[in-house]
Structure 1
């Protein structure tokens, strides 16, 4: 009877351990890493598979060294379960030891039996997908070895992850959709599909699939976070709702306090954000994350205290790793430098923002700030350089981009460059008068004596286009007619032709004294037989 009781207790204990591992896996799936770790620690060392899952928890938490120490903590851990060799292979991939990792994966497959083979293949695929040094094709090969009856939504989703790592977005999307057909409650597939559409900035579809992930599994915290982040920039009240749901479905963390203070800032509750951030600093001291100083800097800047903002931003830059600095940080730094009249440093910071940012529209914003900075400094040449960069960067630049670029060159007395830019304008917009007008003015500055006649054809084109609405374009017509009249009078000596241009001025502006004076002189010269006999 005693042996039976012992046997019975053993069965119950094994069942409880199995249930504990499943519970830990669910916590890992839901990003509750602390909860998963606590459960797995309780079933070690009796439950050998738990080493794999605990190593996964550490890897997810960016604690690769801790995962390695765990797997090396006993001589028989790697041989105790084939999944543990996969865990060690994943650690080796994290250390960029691809060949050694592959050997571990191959040995794990040899050690696997019919019961563990599918789990091992999925684990190999996961390691290759989630580690930077992993081989996406090897992940696909692993999934392809899973028998059809064992090919569940998780395995199909891993196939999608491998395609995504290969930058084959359409194939990845197909796999995620197939996974959802296999199991509509598998939230990870819907979430991963949403992430594809997020990279495409297709808000209709990524919002649909993030919400589908939540509908499939209301505990899937990662989707709440993405929706919080999306609405953070658009609707702070909705963002607050999703943040509350995210907090409710994740393990307690100081990170929640950081996020709440971020939302205070986004809600324009700057005093509350500052108070909360200072409370975090008081509690955590030197352990506080550097970004708390950034939050304080942004909040003080919003309150108009540039001096305090600058001080805190410098603290943030000093404490944060360079790899974590983002373009907006340099943008704020540039704006603060500009407020302190340190324009050269402001320019340097905006250049850093341009180099760091990957979003073209944001790059363009920083370029525009630089162009405006140089314009205010009356450095029109530098302004023109950045306006030219803006034109080259835009997917669909317009006539105003060309106009401002050319005008800056003209203001900088860079007439040859202005001529080139306005030449582009006339090619792209041949029916518009301003390209010809400013190219004419640029060429007139290059050919100051008119001897080469560089501006003549452009001024004739100005006259041709502007004559369609003489009242609206009166000023342009007077300039064009005047230049052409002067050219004929002084260069070709065709006084009749010159007279015709000055008479055109008098048609649009009868009281133009200069035009009348020159017309009278030309008539006298013609009567005296001077110049050519007639206009050609």
Structure 2
């Protein structure tokens, strides 16, 4: 009997250890971003012990890491309803409140309540809060986008947690994320926080990986490779670093992307996400039908309800030219998927596709703005402004196009000839001729051997002044440029001399100069039969004006054209 009791006690003790290990296993799976495995372990644990607050908290964290905020919210709410009134549940509830647009002050009240409830009342740690709860509060504020949570508040709690628990590297991971939420200027503090994590655990691959992501966002490949390499050295089974490399190479080197994807799949959960990445690789490799077939395979199996399947179809059909199918799947994905789960590249891809679909330009702009808000790489911001500007151009909205091209130019340290051209023409279309003229002057200065800077200056001047007076100087400059090759450019030169001739005859009332310009036009392009006719008309008018009338001198011709109209027009070539 006594032996039986001891055996039962041993079994109970073993069960307790297994229970504790199961929670730790779930946490470990979350560290490796194996969300499927984490949820399976933690869900079973919660099913077995539905009032274990610690297990419930971590199951909610698995939902949150999977960006299923509503599931986490429902889980924590159910726990409270079932009487699990525990600090871990309060922290989790506060976190989902931050992530679902709730009241930040209400969330902080829950956090403070949890701190108070877990502050030791006796022993060596009397008066000290529980560092695990402080870290959970920091984690709560680190979750979600840069606009969610209170970074300063979270950092304050994490610094206290680090004092009380100097061995936990996760504290510094959360701290680093919160520094990044405070803005790019805090990148150095984030790197230092991640370094502190590696001091506490040199094998903590997540810290090296997170540091690499910072340098990836700065387009510093050398530093990115260094830190990603350190992550692999620390723990070659840490799958997220391989996925980061896949994403990095996916639009640069598909062979390298495939190599890292294979490593990711070998170390990650086998789930719908890994199938999706394979379909994504096939798309990026130009194997569109194979990618479509992979999506169909997913749809026919366990992944039939996996919403990113529509994203695969949208990308593939867009690339093979089936606009209708592509648009259908873009709309389906973006309207059915939880917004928290839609990646930056999906918004960006939808925007860049739909801006070319008539009637969908405004939706394209909306998606591009959402992608821009998620993109932390400063160097990418300019491309969003340019894409939005092109959508407004398609919608024939010149003022809006001009506004976004100005934003692009403001952060462009080295404008190309295309950038200068686009801003100049946009300014001209928006009737900001001062900026247009300045852009075309810059174009001429940077590219003196290109005709475009001269011809555009003429167009801008003609648009700004319908009398043609303002265009005289730019036209003469253009003629001088074209005269470097009179054989090639003789017709254009002749045309612009005729334009000047028309201006001098009809506006400036200077018949002599008008005749001089049409003489040059005829000399340059004798095949144009209009120029001799206008010239003859002007010469006849001058002769008539100079002829004696009633015994008195008629005087010179300058000052009046007597109602005669010479050609020339105001359109330019």
Q: Which one of the candidate residues 159, 166, 175 is aligned to 1:144?
A: 159
Q: Following superposition of structure 1 onto structure 2, how do residues 162-173 of structure 1 map, counting pairs within 5 Å?
A: 162-167=178-183, 168-173=186-191
Give the TM-score, by structure 1 length: 0.75
Aligned to 2:169: 153
Distance 1:148 1:322 in 2: 38
Distance 2:21 2:369 in 1: 51
Distance 1:306 1:209 in 2: 41
Aligned to 2:313: 296
Distance 2:422 2:165 in 1: 65
CA-to-aligned-CA distance 1:59-81 (integer Å, 9 cap, x gap): 43433245426754876773xxx
Tell me, yes or no, if structure 1 residue 218 matches structure 2 residue 236: yes
Distance 1:527 1:268 in 2: 77
Q: Which one of the candidate residues 77, 94, 104 is aligned to 2:96?
A: 94
Distance 1:241 1:307 in 2: 34
Q: Does the 8 A contact of 2:141 with 2:151 survive in 1?
A: yes
Aligned to 1:417: 431
Aligned to 1:105: 115
Q: Following superposition of structure 1 onto structure 2, how do residues 222-233 of structure 1 map, counting pairs within 5 Å?
A: 222-233=240-251
Q: Does the 8 A contact of 1:224 with 1:242 survive in 2?
A: yes
CA-to-aligned-CA distance 1:151-184 (integer Å, 9 cap, x gap): 5533333322221222222321222234335543
Q: Does the 8 A contact of 2:542 with 2:557 survive in 1?
A: no
Deviation of the 1:288 alpha carbon: 0.9
Using the TM superposition, name which of 37-46 and 181-190 deviates more. 37-46
Q: Following superposition of structure 1 onto structure 2, how do residues 480-495 of structure 1 map, counting pairs within 5 Å?
A: 480-489=496-505, 494-495=510-511
Q: Following superposition of structure 1 onto structure 2, how do residues 310-329 of structure 1 map, counting pairs within 5 Å?
A: 312-313=329-330, 315-316=332-333, 319-321=336-338, 324=342, 326-329=347-350
Unaligned runs of 5+ in 2: 373-380, 446-452, 548-552, 560-573
Distance 1:464 1:202 in 2: 46
Q: Does the 8 A contact of 1:17 with 1:47 survive in 2?
A: no
3-state DSSP of counterpart to 1:218: coil
CA-to-aligned-CA distance 1:347-376 (integer Å, 9 cap, x gap): 4444444444415414523543663x56xx
Distance 2:270 2:455 in 1: 63
Q: Does the 8 A contact of 1:406 with 1:421 survive in 2?
A: yes
Q: Does the 8 A contact of 2:355 with 2:361 survive in 1?
A: yes
CA-to-aligned-CA distance 1:369-396 (integer Å, 9 cap, x gap): 663x56xxxxxxx275565356324324
Q: Does the 8 A contact of 2:239 with 2:264 survive in 1?
A: yes
Deviation of the 1:298 alpha carbon: 3.6
Q: Does the 8 A contact of 2:57 with 2:76 survive in 1?
A: no
Deviation of the 1:483 alpha carbon: 3.9
3-state DSSP of counterpart to 1:219: coil
Deviation of the 1:229 alpha carbon: 2.2
Distance 2:177 2:339 in 1: 29
Distance 1:530 1:518, change over 3 A: farther
CA-to-aligned-CA distance 1:500-533 (integer Å, 9 cap, x gap): 4455556656888746747865885798676549
Tell me, yes or no, if structure 1 residue 361 matches structure 2 residue 383: yes
Deviation of the 1:438 alpha carbon: 1.9
Deviation of the 1:200 alpha carbon: 3.1
Aligned to 1:123: 136
3-state DSSP of counterpart to 2:119: helix
Using the TM superposition, name which of 398-407 and 218-227 deviates more. 398-407
Tell me, yes or no, if structure 1 residue 135 matches structure 2 residue 150: yes
Distance 2:463 2:16 in 1: 88
Q: Following superposition of structure 1 onto structure 2, how do residues 148-297 of structure 1 map, counting pairs within 5 Å?
A: 150-167=166-183, 168-284=186-302, 288-297=305-314
Aligned to 2:449: none
3-state DSSP of counterpart to 1:417: coil
Q: Which one of the candidate residues 45, 49, 56 is aligned to 2:61?
A: 56
CA-to-aligned-CA distance 1:96-117 (integer Å, 9 cap, x gap): 4321222112322336976894
| Residue correspondences, number | 504
Deviation of the 1:118 alpha carbon: 3.9
Using the TM superposition, name which of 162-171 and 151-160 deviates more. 151-160
Distance 1:185 1:502, change over 3 A: same
3-state DSSP of counterpart to 2:189: helix
Distance 1:315 1:284, change over 3 A: farther
Distance 1:409 1:70 in 2: 58
Tell me, yes or no, if structure 1 residue 439 matches structure 2 residue 441: no
CA-to-aligned-CA distance 1:417-470 (integer Å, 9 cap, x gap): 3855643445545655224422344367x22xx6xx444444444455555665
Using the TM superposition, name which of 485-494 and 121-130 deviates more. 485-494
RMSD over aligned Cα atoms = 4.5
Unaligned runs of 5+ in 1: 79-84, 375-381
Using the TM superposition, name which of 119-128 and 221-230 deviates more. 119-128
Distance 1:439 1:405 in 2: 13
Aligned to 1:391: 405
Distance 2:491 2:123 in 1: 90
Tell me, yes or no, if structure 1 residue 27 matches structure 2 residue 32: no
Distance 1:519 1:502 in 2: 9
Q: Does the 8 A contact of 1:299 with 1:309 survive in 2?
A: yes
Distance 1:109 1:367, change over 3 A: same
Q: Does the 8 A contact of 1:194 with 1:205 survive in 2?
A: yes
Distance 1:383 1:259 in 2: 38
Deviation of the 1:30 alpha carbon: 1.3
